[in-house]
Amino acid sequence: MAADERNRPRLSAFLLLLISAALAFSASFFSKRLLGNDGRFALIGRRSLTKIREVDSGAPFKSFRSSLPQRPRRFYLPCIVILIVIRLEILQEVVYDFQCTAQGVEVFLPVFLAGYELMFGKRAPLPISDEPEDPWITIREEFTQWVKTSQLWLFSSVLVFTIGVYQSAGLAYGSSYFCSPVLDEPRWIVVLQWAGVSLDAVVLVMSWRVLSWAKTTKSRLHILSGILAISCLGSGVLWIGTRIAQQGPILDRQAVQYVDPLYMFDILSTGLVLGVLLIAAMLWIVESVPLEPTSIIAYIGGTASTVRQVFLLGTYQQTSAGPPLVALFTIMGGFSIFAYANNMRSVVYIRRGFLVLLMVVLLIAALITSAVRNRPVQHHPLDEFIYKNRVESDRWLRHASVSTTLRTAVEEYKERHHGRDPPARFDRWFDFSRQRNAAIVDMYDQMEKDILPFWGMSPQKVREAIEKAKGLPDIGVVTIIRGKASHNEPADPSHQMILDDMVSIISTFSEHLPEMSIPINLNERPRVLVPQSDIHRLMQAATAPKSKFLPMMNKRDKGKPEVVEDQAASNIEVRSDSEKGSYVSVEDFHHLQSLACPPGSKTRAGVSWNARDLCASCADPHAQGVFVRSWRKALDPCHQPDVFHLHDFYTMPYRSELHQELLPIFSRSKTDIFNDIIIPLLRPNVKHEQETTTFDDKTNALFWQDEPLTEIMTHQSFHGGQRSRLVYLTNNASATDEGPLLIGSNYGKDLKFAYEMVKTSEANDLFTIKTSFTAPETCKDQACWMAQKQFGFVEPPNDPEEKPDVAVDHRYVMLLDGPDGPPPNLLAALRSNGVPFLSSIFREWYTERLMPWTHFVPVDLRFHDLHSTLAYFVGLKDRGRVNGRERDTMADRTEDARWIAEQGRKWAEKVIRREDIEIYLFRLLLEWGRLIQDDRDNMGFVLLKQG
């Protein structure tokens, strides 16, 4: 597990500090315009400062307490710098193992600051009235007086509302990215977190004292920028120091890669935001005490998150009303007392009394909301999904096989392909497909989507791109000359097998093909990832009406800049890959993917860094509750940046090269945003024909088994890879891990369903789930030992021919992707009379033909739906207690399971046969053969008019 992964944050810290220092320094030139400017300060002198503040009603955060702290000591400045550097190191350590952190430790910062006030703070006397002391002062007033002046009140009120905020932070729901008790040190991480918060408090107090005693805003900004600049130096020295200690070159190839424009842009924008925040925070705290801003921020954040939790009631994310309401109550109560104890007349321009009133209203609203929202539902969502998808798959098949004659096929083709004529010899293809009883004649959306961008390039450019692709490593070339297919004899025997098979398939129809050559990707991973802006431009060029033929359209488009084919193609910036070498780091891979997503999408907007918590908003667009509603959407990474932590494809460095330029490379599989052209390729070493048992003879269990791939495992893929997460979740869940389970219970006479939070280990015990890694032949490196300790290996099956994960004896077969591509045994599982539980990010040529909930059961990559899905099919009757109660009313749905198993098998035998591969390939190559011809616009297949 590469130590190098840890160096980048140091560089980032260095750059961030540098930018904020520069910003603070430049801000000092505008200090006159900033809040708390220094004019009166210099004139009147420091002694009467407190008075001035009281008078100055313009100050937004007014309190009657003296804000001027004790004088700072000389050693404070260097101390601050050293502490900042240490703090950054701690931060880096904590972020690296973020999955092990405790939720919400950071909110205790105000408590530390209140503790400081309690010990050292001087309370200013209340404004003294001129009248002599009233002997008849009432007890109530005395009490108020006492509350106002007692530091203990202040401290306890802060403690109370902070506990509330902490509780609400704990309501966030953990992801399946796990903290390993073997590899990580969870306790140590939590200790570091606490150390970090206390350091924050110390740095804040020290800086506050230093900055408050500076005379002018200008000099404060100078001090701030000085502190930042020296800390920046400090972390820079540390960065170089560690590089030398690791005996690596200070700027190796990877370090140079960091300086790519994407990274720079990120750092620059983050640095600017950070700088502005720091300056604002500084201006705020010198006007008051550090306790005030931190408390207000914690309060606002806590309230917002609790209110959100209240609104989530009734969904799987918040299953009971108690915890958020208690948290809300604690925050409100604590903060109200704090507002009095701290003597704040107003909180960010809101009067104190009004604020308390607001809080009471909010509490009542929350109570009502929770009563309304927290209701069980009448139907299980899967009832509806299964029914709807049954209807949908019938509709899909009708839509996919409209044409019964060549004439309708041609019309359908034009309708579905932007008015383009079908390629020449389309009639031969049509006959060919009819001879082979093709069920699907018209539906080739994936093919069209893959090929369309190339219509935006000129044929000349496409041919050049083919030549370029042919020269790349691990590319096999199939050439068709005078109706004969041949390949370029690669050295690797398994590559040879793939191409042999391809040539033999093509030979069944090659006499109808024009001359061409196709570069085939022999690696498992796809290779072409073009930025979305380029693809968008090419697509526009490809679908733009040709002016010659359609003058009307042209007129309408006059306002727009004209997209001419050739220009569009030559405008594409070609980013040369050669200097990048054949290795793309995980971070760069994420960046390139975010560029391939459309602007405004969540993935484009930024990288998600929090792997610890479930990103429910990432799953929501394709889910209903925990279940996958739209599987096709679930395949799109652009709305779910969190998957970058959750799949080996994303968490392992890219070991083959990646092209940002649109190259025609034909690959077996790809994720949604890649631009390879999907082609059916043989999988060597996978048996497709399988002895299989009937559904009823299989065990009522979920099964998954495979070898661990420890030699390529990284820190991230150990914790977040789909395979390790599944094995951890179902075998090793810790005592604190829990998840939602949709449970049916009787409410009166009716069976209704509601989510309940259930301990993951308890949920595992409800079902028979067999997931495991098999022992590899040798286990010699550290990663393998760690994996063995964490997951425990089982003996592999004796017969080496028997693929362990084709679990023919189990009713429910879990199918997970490998690190580079889709599950190799998907087809076998479809044909096996079992129910495939498929969790995948990849598409293959037949992916569009599969219907979720009809031919297989989709499982979210986050696995938070796994137990609920299993519970639906297997039922909870006689399966033991859940949360202390028997749930016998939730019967099994074995009938549905058997039906899906049957549908999957029948469908695979109907539309994913070898004949279907031939048909798909024939059509693809006709398209391709036309695309590379200069005269491609005029050489379509046109049916002669009858009569």
- Residue with smaller CB distance to ligand NAG, 231 or 772: 772
Residues that bind ligand NAG (CB under 6 A): 181-182, 731-732, 790-792
Q: At what angle do helices 426-435 and 406-416 cross, to 10 degrees?
A: 110
Question: From CA 80, how far away is CA 474, in angstroms rounded?
Answer: 55
CA–CA distance, 792 with 912 (Å, rounded to integer):
37
3-class DSSP string for 654-684: ECCCCECCCCCCEECCECCCCCCEECCCCCC
- Least distance in angstroms from the C-beta of 744 to ligand NAG: 29
Task: Say which residues have a Cβ less than 8 Å from residue 543's Cβ, sequence separation at least 6.
Answer: 418, 452, 455
* CB-nearer residue toward ligand NAG: 732 or 760: 732
Output the smallest distance, CB 185 to ligand NAG, in A.
14
- Separation between Cα atoms, residue 220 and residue 279, nearest integer Å: 10
Residue with tokens 């009603």: 57
Q: How far is 275 from 805, CA to CA, in rounded Å?
A: 53
Q: Cβ of residue 703: shortest distance to ligand NAG, in angstroms?
A: 14
Nearer to ligand NAG, 462 or 727 (CB): 727
Q: Which is nearer to ligand NAG, 181 or 653 (CB)?
A: 181
Minimum CB distance to ligand NAG, residue 93 (Å): 22
To the nearest whole angstrom, how small is the minimum distance from the Cβ of residue 727 to ligand NAG?
A: 8
Look up residue 172 and give its DSSP letter: S
Residue among 167 and 732 whose Cβ is closer to ligand NAG = 732
User: 737-749 burial, b if ≥16 CB within 10 A, otherwise e?
Assistant: bbbbbbbbbeeee
CA separation for the pair 521, 938 (Å, rounded): 31
β 769-774/699-706 pair status: parallel
Other residues' Cβ atoms within 10 Å of the Cβ of residue 719 = 26
- DSSP H helices, 351-458, are 352-373, 381-400, 406-416, 426-435, 445-455
Between CA 313 and CA 318, with CA 316 as vertex, the angle to 5 degrees is 40
Token pair belonging to 941:
């297949």
Report, in Å, the least distance between residue 174 CB and ligand NAG. 18
Smallest gap from residue 765 Cβ to ligand NAG (A) = 12
Shortest distance in whole angstroms from residue 444 CB to ligand NAG: 45
421 close to 414: Cβ distance less than 8 angstroms: yes
Considering the complex, state which of residue 198 and residue 788 has its C-beta at the smaller distance from ligand NAG. Answer: 788
| Listed residue (127, 56, 499, 446) closest to 288, CA to CA | 56
What DSSP string describes 313-332? BTSTTB--SHHHHHHHHHHH
Residue number with CB closer to ligand NAG (343 or 790): 790
The residue among 532 and 761 lying less far from ligand NAG, judged by its C-beta, is 761
Which residue of this chain has its Cβ atom nearest to ligand NAG in the complex? 792
Q: How are beta strands 484-487 and 475-481 bridged, if at all?
A: antiparallel
Is the CB of 257 or the CB of 731 nearer to ligand NAG?
Answer: 731
CB of 791 to ligand NAG, least distance (A): 6
Kindly state the DSSP code that residue 598 receives in the 8-state scheme: P
590 vs 810, which CB is nearer to ligand NAG? Answer: 810
Closest contact distance (angstroms) between CB of 731 and ligand NAG is: 4
Distance CA 21, CA 36 (A): 20
* Least distance from ligand NAG to the Cβ atom of residue 788, Å: 9
User: What are 690's two structure tokens?
Assistant: 């399988």
By beta-carbon proximity to ligand NAG, the closer residue of 523 and 772 is 772
